[in-house]
Structure 1
Amino acid sequence: MKSTNVARNVVAALRDMGVRHVFGVPSGGWVDYMEAIRTTDGIDFVLTSHEGGAGFMADVCGRLTGVPGVCFGTFGPGATNLATGVGGATLDRSPMIALTDEMPAALRGRTVQMGIDHQALFAPLTKATMRIEAESAVDTLAEAARIALSGRPGAVHVGLPQGMSAVAVDEVRIAPPAADPAPAPDAAAVEALIAAFVAAEKPVLAIGLGAVHAGVQDRVVALAERFGLPVLLTPMAKGMVAETHPNYAGVLFHALSDLVGQTHAEADLVVAVGYDPIEFNYEGWMRDGLALASLDVAPADIDRDVHPVVADVVGAIAPVLDVLLALPATVKGWDLAALAARKAEIFARLAGREGAFAPRAALDVLRDILPADGIMTCDVGAHTHLIGQHWRTPAPGTQIMTNGWSAMGFGLPAAIAAKLCRPDTSVCCVLGDGGFLMTAGELATAVREKLAMVIVIFTDNDLALIRIKQEKKSNPIYGTPVRAEGTIGGPSLFGVPVTVARDPAEFRAALEAGFAANGPVIVEALLDSREYDNLVLRKDKP
C-alpha cells in the first residue's frame, strides 16, 4: 500500500464522498489539511469571514447536493462560532460533517489556552460527535457521513487532534457514503392508516420537510388529485405543490395563517406526510381533538392526550403513499371551489399595492425577474413570514430558508453556497437590514470567489417582528430600531457595489443590472415595514 499522512487521507476521503468545498477559517493545526486540499483535485477550501457563515454554507451545500457539507473551526472560539451553523444543519435537517481542532490526548482535561471540551460542546447540537485516530480516520469519516445522511439528516462533529495530521499512515480510499435505508413500515400501522383514511370525510394533507427528502412530490400531488384533498405545506416544504394547483391550500405558520386555518379547521383527519414538528408543532395549528395519521421516518411527536393518533406509520414514505394511491378513487367531501376562493383572497391580500414602496411590491418585482429555476435564499425576520406565503416556488430547493433553527444571518452565506453548488443558476438572497449586519463580512467571501449573485436588502431600519410583538402588548418600541434613518452604507461595501432603490421602477432596473453583472451586487430597497403589521403573526387556530 502507498504511504501517505492523515491529512491527505482525510481530504481524499472527503473528495471521494463527493465533497467539493470545505468552508472555514484556518488554524495552525489545519495547515496540513489545507496543503492536502491544495494538492487534491476536485475539492477546494473556501475562506469565510466567520465560522458561523462557514457552517451555514456547509448546511446549504448538504441540502443542494445530498452530500454532507463540510466546515471547519479551530479551538475554543472557532468551535463556538461554528456551532451556530452546526446547530442549524441539525434542526434544518441538512447533512453535515463539522470538523474542529481538538487537543491531543495528553492535553485533554488540562488547563490550556482556548481549551474546551468540543465533544461536550457539540453533543447537543449534532446527531453524533466523535474524533479520528490516525489509522482509522477514513472509517470515522465514513461513519460520520452515514449518520449525517440517515433518517432525518443532520450534523455530525468530528474532532481532529492537533499533531495527528502529519502522522504517516497507509493510503486508504472510501466509497461514496449512503444513508441507511428507511425501514419497511409496520403492516398493522399501514392498515390503521388505510382504515382512518377511508373513514374520513374531510382529510387534509400536511406536507413537511421529510417528504422533500423522500422525493415523493409526484405521489403527493397524485394523492391530492385522486381524492380531492387540500394540501398544506410547511415553509421548508415549499415547492412540493405549486401555488397554482387547485388543491394547494397554503403554508402553515407564515403570513395570513389565519386564512389558511379556515381550511384545516374543517378537517376531520390530518394525514401528515414527512411532517417534522421542528418547523411548527402540531398543537400550534390543529384544533383540539383533531385526529392525526402520520407517515414519516420518525414517530409522530404530538400531545396524544389532545390529539388522537389513529395511525403512526414509521419508515419509508413512498411505498405507503403507493398503498393509498391504490385505493378506489373516492372524492372526499371538500368544497374545492371554497378552497379556491380562500386562496384567491390570500394572494389578493399579498399582492403589491400602490403607495409607499413596501415588501410585497418588492417581492413581486423580484419574482418577475428571477428565472423560474433560480434560487432565492432568505434570512430570518418579518420578510421570511411574507416569503413563506407569498413567494411562488416552482420546485423544492428553489427557495431556501431556515425554519427549524431560524438563525438571523443565514441568508447571505446560504446564497454564497447555492452559487458555489449551482454556478450556472441565477442566485439571489433577500435579507432584512438587521440580519444582513450579522454576516455582512461574508460579502468579502463572495468577492473573493467571484460569485455573480444579487444581494437584496430590505432596509426598513426596524426589527419588525419584535416591534410588532411589542406593540401587541402595548409596550413602547425599544431596542428594535436598527438605525435612526438612512441606508446601510455608501456606494460599495467590501468591494460590492450598492444600488439604492426607492420605488418599484428603480428596484426593477437595479435587479436587471445586478443579474447581468459578473460579480456580487447589492440592491438595497428602502421599504416601509408597517406593511407587515396586518400580514404576519396571525392566529393559526381559528
Structure 2
Amino acid sequence: MSTVADRVIERLQELGIRYVFGVPSGSWLYYMEAMRKKGIEFILVSNETSAGFMADVTYRLTGIPGACYATVGPGATNLGTGVGGALLDRSAIIAFTSEPPEKMQGRTVQMAIDQQALFRPLTKFTTSLKPETIDQVLQKAVRIAISDTPGPVHIGLPEDLGPIEVPDSQESIVLPVAAEPFVPNTKSLYLLEKQFCDSHRPVLAVGLSAVRSKAGALIVATAERHGIPVVLTPMAKGMISEDHPLYAGVLFHALSDRVAETYSQADLVIGVGYDPVEFNYESWMPEVPLIHLDTVPADIDRIEYPAVTDVIGDINAALSVLTALDPINSEWDLNALVERKNAMFQALEPAPGSFGSRAALSILRDVLPQDGIMTCGVGAHTHLIGQMWRTPAPGLQIMSNGWSSMGFGIPAAIAAKLSMPDRKVVCVTGDGGLLMMAGEMVVAQRQNLSVVFVILVDHMLELIRLKQDKKSFPFYKTDLDQQETPRADSIFGVPVLHAESADEYRSVLEKAFSTEGPVIVEARIEGGDYDNVILRKHK
C-alpha cells in the first residue's frame, strides 16, 4: 500500500515535473516527504505569488507543466496572483492548495474560504482530489492545462488526504501530446486567398499563439514572398529578427506612434496567432478588413469592425496557403519601411555619455550572450524593453504582458535558471519591483543560482508618474523614497555591485556574469529616459 501523497508525487514524476514551488503547511509535509524520496525538489519561496510565476516560466521554457503549492486560506489567495498570471500569459501549470477536510467544507473553519470558488475564474479547471480518483483527476487536469489555449488548473488537497493509504497501482500517466489543430475549412481558406490577393498593402500582426505554433519560419517566408511588413505583440518577440528589412516594430510599447506610421497605411490586417490578451485589435487597427488566423475566433468589436474573416485551425496550414501564392502586387514602400524602423531604433539609442535606462539596456544587450535569457518586471522599463531589446529567438526575453504583474521578473529569472542551468540569465526590474519581491533573493542564494539581477534605481514609480503627467495631475505618492537609500553591500546574502556611470555599469556587469551564484547590480540611473518615448498614441 502507498499513500495518497506517494501516488500524487509519483504521477508528477512520471509527467517529467522536476520542481514544485511553494510554501509548506503541516498537511503538505506528507507530499514533501514523498518528493524527497522521489527526487522531485520542493523549491521554498518567500511568497506564494512567486511560486505561481515560477511554475509559469518553467512551462514556457520546458513545455512541461509547472507545479506550485500553497496552504489553505492566505497561502491560496497569495498563490492566486501567480495562477492568474499563468491564465492570461497562457502557461500550463498545476496549482495545488490544501483545503479543509471534506467533512468540514462548508463549515466555519479557521483560515478557510471556498477555494474552488476562488480558483474557478483563475483557471481552466478546478476540483478537489479524492483517494479513489487520483490518476483520473491528474490525467484530466494535465490534459486540460496543455490543451489550446494552455493555462492553469487547480487541485484542492483536503488536509486529511495525504497519509490515507491507497492500493498500489501498475498504471502510470504520461504527459499528453497536445492535439494537432485541424486544417481550416475550405471556405475560410478561399476567403483568405481572395482577400489577400485583392489587397495591396497587407500587414502581418503576429501574436502569442503564433509562438506556440512555432510559425516563425512561415511568417518570415510569407512576408518575404509578398513584400509585406510584420508587427509583433510584446510576447511574440523573437519571431522575426529586428534586423529583417520587413520587421516594423512591436505594438503597444515604446514609440508605438512610429510603428503606427506603418500599419496605419495597411488596407488589410492579417492577425497571425494574435491574442488580444496583450492588446485589443480595436486599440490600434485602422478601419480595414481583418483576417484572423488562430485556433479561436477573433475577439473584436464586430460592429466597429464588420469585415472580419476567421480562419480557424492550424495557423501553419493557413500560412502555407499564402506562401504558395504568386507574389501579390505589393504597394509597400520597403525602403521607407526600413528607414522608419532604423529611425525608431535610433531614437531609442542612449544619448552619448548618458546613464539612463536606455544606456543600461543597451550595454546589457552587449554583455549578455545572444542565447542568454532576460526576464523583466512590469513598469516603464518594460515598455522600453518591448521595443528596443533585440531578441534572437522566442523564449530569450520573458515578460508578463497578459497579466502584467509588478514583481514578475525576479521569480521568472529564478525559474529560468532552474530550467536552463547552462544559459546566462539576467533579470531587469525597477526598484518598485525589487521592493515587491526582494525576499526571493533568498531563494536564489539558497539554490546558488548564477542569476544577475539588474535593478534600475530611479526612486520612482515612473510609469505611474508619466500617466499622472499625461493627465496634468501633480506627482502624488509615486516617490519610492525621499532620500538616498543606504548602499548595502548585500541583500539577504546576495552581493550588491553599484554603478553610477555607463563605464562603471559595463564593468560590474562583466564581473557579475563571471561570478558564481546570484549577484545584484544596482544601476543608479538618470531620469528622463521614458518621457518622450512611452505612452505614445497607437492610432
TM category (shorter chain) comes to: over 0.9
Are 1:52 and 2:49 matched, yes or no?
yes
Q: How does 1:161-240 map to 2 (within 5 A)?
A: 161-169=158-166, 170-171=168-169, 172-240=171-239
C-alpha distance 435-195 of structure 1, shift in aligned 2 (>3 A): same
Structure 1 stretch 290-299 or stretch 245-254: which is displaced more?
A: 290-299
Tell me the residue number matched to 2:349.
351
Tell me the residue number matched to 1:441.
439
Distance 1:210 1:116 in 2: 35
C-alpha distance 494-331 of structure 1, shift in aligned 2 (>3 A): farther
Q: Deviation string for 1:116-173 (max 9, x for gaps)?
A: 0110001111111112111221221111111111111111111111111112112342
Tell me the residue number matched to 2:58.
61
Distance 1:225 1:308 in 2: 29
| Secondary structure in structure 1 of the residue aligned to 2:473 | coil
| Secondary structure in structure 2 of the residue aligned to 1:529 | coil
| Secondary structure in structure 1 of the residue aligned to 2:28 | helix
Distance 2:246 2:208 in 1: 19
State which of 134, 138, 143 in structure 1 corresponds to 2:135. 138
State which of 459, 464, 467 in structure 2 corresponds to 1:469. 467
Distance 1:229 1:326 in 2: 15
Normalized against structure 1, the TM-score is what? 0.98
Q: How does 1:237-256 map to 2 (within 5 A)?
A: 237-256=236-255
Tell me the residue number matched to 1:307.
305
Distance 1:236 1:31 in 2: 37
Tell me the residue number matched to 2:3.
5
C-alpha distance 178-131 of structure 1, shift in aligned 2 (>3 A): farther
Distance 1:10 1:335 in 2: 59
Tell me the residue number matched to 1:19.
17
Structure 1 stretch 500-509 or stretch 168-177: which is displaced more?
A: 168-177
Tell me the residue number matched to 1:540.
538
Are 1:124 and 2:121 matched, yes or no?
yes
| Secondary structure in structure 1 of the residue aligned to 2:117 | helix
State which of 64, 68, 71 in structure 1 corresponds to 2:68. 71
Are 1:416 and 2:414 matched, yes or no?
yes
- CA contact under 8 A between 2:224 and 2:246: conserved in structure 1? yes
Are 1:259 and 2:258 matched, yes or no?
yes
Distance 2:504 2:329 in 1: 49
The residue type paired with residue 199 of structure 2 is A
State which of 145, 157, 162 in structure 2 corresponds to 1:160. 157
Tell me the residue number matched to 1:273.
272
Q: CA deviation at 1:488?
A: 6.8
Distance 1:270 1:339 in 2: 16
Distance 2:372 2:160 in 1: 44
Distance 2:484 2:393 in 1: 37
Q: Deviation string for 1:57-83 (max 9, x for gaps)?
A: 001001111111100000000000000
- CA contact under 8 A between 2:123 and 2:152: conserved in structure 1? yes
Structure 1 stretch 308-317 or stretch 93-102: which is displaced more?
A: 308-317
Distance 2:337 2:408 in 1: 34
Q: How does 1:367-386 map to 2 (within 5 A)?
A: 367-386=365-384
Q: CA deviation at 1:188?
A: 1.2
- CA contact under 8 A between 1:462 and 1:529: conserved in structure 2? no
Q: Deviation string for 1:485-506 (max 9, x for gaps)?
A: 3247511000001011001111
Distance 2:284 2:335 in 1: 23
Distance 1:456 1:354 in 2: 21
Distance 2:486 2:60 in 1: 30
| Secondary structure in structure 2 of the residue aligned to 1:97 | strand
- CA contact under 8 A between 1:243 and 1:392: conserved in structure 2? yes
Distance 1:435 1:204 in 2: 36
Structure 1 stretch 172-181 or stretch 61-70: which is displaced more?
A: 172-181
State which of 79, 82, 86 in structure 1 corresponds to 2:83. 86
Q: Deviation string for 1:498-539 (max 9, x for gaps)?
A: 011001111011110100011000001011231100010000
Distance 1:108 1:488 in 2: 49
Distance 1:422 1:160 in 2: 30
Distance 1:260 1:63 in 2: 28
Q: Superposition RMSD on alpha carbons, in Å?
A: 1.1
Q: CA deviation at 1:192?
A: 1.1
Q: How does 1:388-537 map to 2 (within 5 A)?
A: 388-487=386-485, 489-537=487-535
- CA contact under 8 A between 1:25 and 1:49: conserved in structure 2? yes
State which of 109, 115, 129 in structure 2 corresponds to 1:112. 109
Q: CA deviation at 1:356?
A: 3.8
| Secondary structure in structure 1 of the residue aligned to 2:68 | strand
Q: Deviation string for 1:306-326 (max 9, x for gaps)?
A: 113342011111111111111
Distance 1:479 1:80 in 2: 27
Q: Which runs of 4+ in 1 moved over 6 A?
A: none
- CA contact under 8 A between 1:190 and 1:311: conserved in structure 2? no
Tell me the residue number matched to 2:315.
317
Distance 2:154 2:194 in 1: 43
Distance 1:354 1:526 in 2: 17
- CA contact under 8 A between 1:9 and 1:173: conserved in structure 2? no
- CA contact under 8 A between 1:363 and 1:391: conserved in structure 2? yes
Distance 1:529 1:236 in 2: 26
C-alpha distance 135-488 of structure 1, shift in aligned 2 (>3 A): farther
Q: CA deviation at 1:355?
A: 4.2
- CA contact under 8 A between 1:196 and 1:310: conserved in structure 2? no
- CA contact under 8 A between 2:142 and 2:175: conserved in structure 1? no
Distance 1:429 1:332 in 2: 41
| Secondary structure in structure 2 of the residue aligned to 1:303 | coil
Count of aligned residue pairs for this structure pair: 537
- CA contact under 8 A between 1:270 and 1:293: conserved in structure 2? yes
Structure 1 stretch 102-111 or stretch 167-176: which is displaced more?
A: 167-176
In structure 2, runs of 5+ residues without a counterpart are none
Distance 1:213 1:379 in 2: 22
Distance 1:70 1:254 in 2: 31
Distance 2:321 2:351 in 1: 46
